[in-house]
Structures are given as C-alpha cells and as structure tokens.
Amino acid sequence: MKKIIVINGPNLNNLGNRSPKHYGKLTLDKIIYLMRKHSENTNIKFLFYQSNHEGRIIDFIQKKVKEASGIIINPGALTHYGYSLKDALIDTNLPIVEVHLSEIKNREKFRKLDIFEDIVISVISGLKEDGYLKAIDLLISYLNK
C-alpha cells in the first residue's frame, strides 16, 4: 500500500464559506471524502493534514515523509511566500503535485507568483475539487512508472 501525504494550507479549513466563486461550495471534509471515494479501488492510503501555520505543516511533512510515496499539496497563500515550506518539500525527494482550486494566474497580481512550480511534477489549477482528483490520478500514474 502506498501512502500519499495531502497537505492543505492556510484558510482551506474555511472552504464552503470562503468565496465560492473562486473556491467552490464544498467543505474540505467533503473534498477529503471525494478523494477517498475516488481512490477506494487503488492501493493508496492518504495522510491528510491542514494547518494555517507554515511551521506546523513542515513539522507534519518531516514526521511523515518516511511513510510516504508522494505528496499532493494545496499551499494556499503559502504559494507566494512559503520558502521554508518549499525547502521542506525539496528535502523529501518525493514526487509532488500542486493543486489550486482557483486559477491563480488569472487572479490578483500577488497571486501570480508560484514559488513551488519549479519543484513539482505538475500544477493543477482552476478545476476546483476536481483538481484534487486529477492530482491523485496523475500521482498514481507517476508512481506506477
């Protein structure tokens, strides 16, 4: 059984309430449910984590990295300035897929910078919750090569 770390960063605990136009209407718990349902016939187990604090996310990654085969991450606003998180992700040497519910390149100027795009195997942006499902498929395909 392969384990995939799934990280959700700042403010993603507030999905369902937060700007449905950009982020959709589903809660994070519902997205997690959809991810599990999507993968129930695979050999994948998820290690889910959400925090509004960069250091706690880093601690979780460092604690769980030896159990994991890959990472799916929605870094939220850390996308634009989370350099210590970027270093922690690089140190894992795991394949990483980055997910964004909204299309960050088509939003406010400050959201256009993505400091993680050069360390991930793919960035999936603008597909709302379907982006997480696509990330699962992409990572499974990558791991099975």
Determine which one of 22, 23, 33, 53 is catalytic.
23
Asked whether residue 84 is marked as a ligand-binding residue, the answer is no
Distance between CA 109 and CA 90 in Å, rounded? 26
pLDDT value at residue 126: 93
pLDDT value at residue 91: 99
Q: For this structure, is 23 an active site residue?
A: yes
pLDDT value at residue 19: 72
Give how many domains the chain has, as a whole number.
Answer: 1
pLDDT value at residue 103: 84
- In terms of pTM, does the model score above 0.75? yes
Distance between CA 19 and CA 140 in Å, rounded? 31
In this structure, which amino acid lies at residue 51? S
pLDDT value at residue 107: 73
Q: Is residue 86 within a helix (H) or strand (E), and if so which, with residue range?
A: helix 83-92
Q: For this structure, is 38 an active site residue?
A: no
Q: Residue 8 contacts by C-beta under 8 Å, 6 or more apart in sequence?
A: 28, 48, 49, 50, 73, 74, 76
Asked whether residue 80 is marked as a ligand-binding residue, the answer is yes
pLDDT value at residue 22: 72
pLDDT tens track, the chain, 145 positions: 899 999 999 999 999 887 777 777 899 999 999 999 999 999 999 999 999 999 999 999 999 999 999 999 999 999 999 999 999 999 999 999 999 998 877 777 767 789 999 999 999 999 999 999 999 999 999 999 8
What's 72's domain CATH number?
3.40.50.9100
Question: At 8, is the secondary structure helix, strand, or coil?
Answer: strand
Asked whether residue 74 is marked as a ligand-binding residue, the answer is yes
pLDDT value at residue 18: 76
Asked whether residue 111 is marked as a ligand-binding residue, the answer is yes
| Residue 39 belongs to domain spanning | 2-143
Distance between CA 38 and CA 50 in Å, rounded? 20
Would you list the DSSP string of 20-79?
HHHH-S--HHHHHHHHHHHTTTSSEEEEEEE-S-HHHHHHHHHHHGGG-SEEEEE-GGGG
Determine which one of 22, 33, 100, 142 is catalytic.
100
pLDDT value at residue 99: 98
